[in-house]
């Protein structure tokens, strides 16, 4: 018997997260420069110049531990979101917050509900805690929100073991979203002793009129947790800052579980500065809308189906040649994201790039196809 055999079974059975390939890695492998990454839903415009300045200042004192209570960031978020500081939990990316939540509620006796095709991290954190997965069948391929969360199917899974429900709105990798009325109705039907996470990683990108801000329901629902991130529209994925909004009591709970310095100094400074640049956020949103439109038009013209998206990516059905097309794009220095690990092998998820990146994508796809 080896030391590996003594490790927890649920850990040995975990599949590691498979991230998008880093640009430098592909450039090194192919001996090229200027590879394009459209694989991890990063902001193609980079980040705000205010962030760059704040980073230069903050980097003068990286010998110091960060503010473990993230005082300034919580103050700025509280102002912006009209919420109290004691309702905010900062994390090392929102993935860290999802992990804190799972560890606060799940053990071998508990179960978490999430949808088929939901963001992979829900399955990972559930399994890492030894919790049971209650996976709800998603909407079908022809539904209005193809492969999206079926809230009725999720509701039907609630039983005595259920401790936690994960909802991504919008969901990654499908881009599907839930409307105000259906999501509100769902939350009202979940028993109060079960925690509900609404993951709003793409919140700032969504422009649908009936898309809800779940944080407006926190007062009414003390079992509700909303998670957001600086990784997406704010362009700070490399600095790892995300957060949860919840009741002060839940926030207090997460504060006990978290590592003391889970928000790093550069990330905290950058996130504060990012909140000061509303113009950059607006510009990012506009680029995204234009890019999504370009992509939809192009794929429609070429006869490819895609899942309608409210995020900063489009998941396109390339059929059985998906893996080959992915490889061919890679050989040409364009990184997109296969989603076979989500059991969607016929699709590739493509992040919205700049107009010039998208034009290169289309040119290369034309040659490949
Ligand atoms: C990208 C993403 C996150 C954010 O991850 P970070 O850890 O904050 O970088 C969370 N949820 C979903 C659904 C995502 O797509």
Per-residue model confidence (pLDDT) at position 11? 92
Mutate to test the pocket of ligand 1, among 232, 235, 267, 270 (most ligand atoms within 8 A of CB): 232
Residue 16 has pLDDT above 90, yes or no: no
CATH 3.90.1150.10 residue ranges for the chain: 17-46+279-368
Give the ligand 1 atom nearest the CA of 94: 8
Between strands 306-307 and 313-317, the pairing is antiparallel
Give yes or no for residue 119 CB within 6 A of ligand 1: yes
The stretches of 218-263 forming alpha helices (DSSP H) are 248-257
> Residue 138 is encoded by which pair of tokens?
């998603």
Digit-coded pLDDT (tens) for 304-324? 999 999 999 999 999 999 999
Ligand 1: distance of its center to the CA of 113 in Å?
18
Ligand 1: distance of its center to the CA of 95 in Å?
6
Model confidence, pTM: 0.97
CATH 3.40.640.10 residue ranges for the chain: 49-275
Digit-coded pLDDT (tens) for 264-296? 999 999 999 999 999 999 999 999 999 999 999
Contact 58, 223 (CB under 8 A): no
Q: DSSP letter string over 108-164?
A: TT-EEEEETT--HHHHHHHHHTTPEEEEEPPP-TTSSSTT---HHHHHHT--TTEEE
Residues of the chain with pLDDT > 90, as a percent, come to 95
Per 3-state DSSP, what percentage of the chain is helix, strand, and coil (rounded to 5)?
45, 15, 40
Ligand 1: distance of its center to the CA of 65 in Å?
25
Digit-coded pLDDT (tens) for 334-354? 999 999 999 999 999 999 999
The residue-averaged pLDDT of 227-248 equals 98
What is the residue-averaged pLDDT of the chain?
97
Per-residue model confidence (pLDDT) at position 135? 98
Give the ligand 1 atom nearest the CA of 231: 9
> Residue 230 is encoded by which pair of tokens?
């600086």
Ligand 1: distance of its center to the CA of 38 in Å?
15
Residue 21 has pLDDT above 90, yes or no: no
Digit-coded pLDDT (tens) for 144-185? 999 999 999 999 999 999 999 999 999 999 999 999 999 999
Ligand 1 atom 1: residue of nearest CA: 201
CATH of domain 17-46+279-368: 3.90.1150.10
Give yes or no for residue 237 CB within 6 A of ligand 1: yes
What torsion do the CA atoms of 138, 161, 16, 313 make, to the nearest 10 degrees? 30
Per-residue model confidence (pLDDT) at position 20? 86
Ligand 1: distance of its center to the CA of 252 in Å?
23
Per-residue model confidence (pLDDT) at position 211? 98
CATH of domain 49-275: 3.40.640.10
Per-residue model confidence (pLDDT) at position 18? 83
Per-residue model confidence (pLDDT) at position 230? 98
């Amino acid at each position: 018997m080896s030391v590996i055999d003594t490790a927890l079974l649920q850990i040995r059975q975990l599949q590691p997260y498979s991230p998008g390939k880093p640009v430098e890695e592909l450039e090194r492998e192919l001996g090229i420069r200027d590879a394009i990454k459209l694989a991890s839903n990063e902001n193609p415009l980079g980040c705000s110049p205010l962030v760059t300045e704040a980073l230069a200042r903050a980097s003068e004192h990286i010998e110091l531990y960060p503010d473990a209570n993230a005082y300034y960031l919580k103050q700025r978020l509280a102002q912006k979101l009209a919420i109290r500081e004691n309702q905010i939990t900062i994390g090392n990316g929102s993935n860290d917050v999802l992990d804190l939540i799972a560890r606060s509620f799940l053990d071998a006796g508990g179960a978490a509900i999430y949808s088929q095709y939901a963001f992979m991290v829900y399955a990972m954190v559930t399994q890492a805690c030894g919790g049971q997965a209650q996976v709800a069948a998603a909407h079908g391929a022809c539904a209005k929100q193809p492969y999206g969360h079926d809230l009725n199917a999720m509701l039907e899974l609630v039983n005595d073991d259920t401790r936690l429900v994960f909802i991504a709105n919008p969901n990654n990798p499908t881009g599907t979203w839930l409307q105000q009325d259906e999501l509100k109705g769902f939350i009202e039907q979940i028993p109060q002793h079960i925690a509900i996470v609404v993951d709003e990683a793409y919140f700032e990108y969504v422009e649908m009129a009936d898309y809800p801000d779940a944080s407006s329901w926190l007062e009414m629902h003390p079992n509700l947790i909303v998670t957001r991130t600086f990784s997406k529209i704010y362009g700070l994925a490399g600095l790892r800052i995300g957060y949860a909004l919840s009741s002060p009591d839940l926030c207090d709970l997460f504060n006990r579980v978290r590592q003391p310095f889970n928000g790093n100094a550069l990330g905290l400074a950058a996130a504060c500065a990012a909140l000061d640049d509303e113009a950059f956020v607006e510009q990012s949103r506009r680029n995204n809308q234009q890019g999504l439109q370009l992509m939809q038009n192009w794929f429609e013209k070429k006869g490819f189906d895609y899942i309608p998206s409210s995020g900063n990516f489009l998941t396109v059905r390339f059929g059985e040649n998906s893996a080959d097309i992915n490889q061919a794009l890679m050989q040409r220095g364009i990184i997109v994201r296969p989603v076979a690990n989500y059991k969607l092998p016929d699709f590739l998820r493509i992040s919205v790039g700049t107009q010039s990146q998208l034009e290169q994508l289309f040119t290369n796809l034309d040659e490949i196809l």
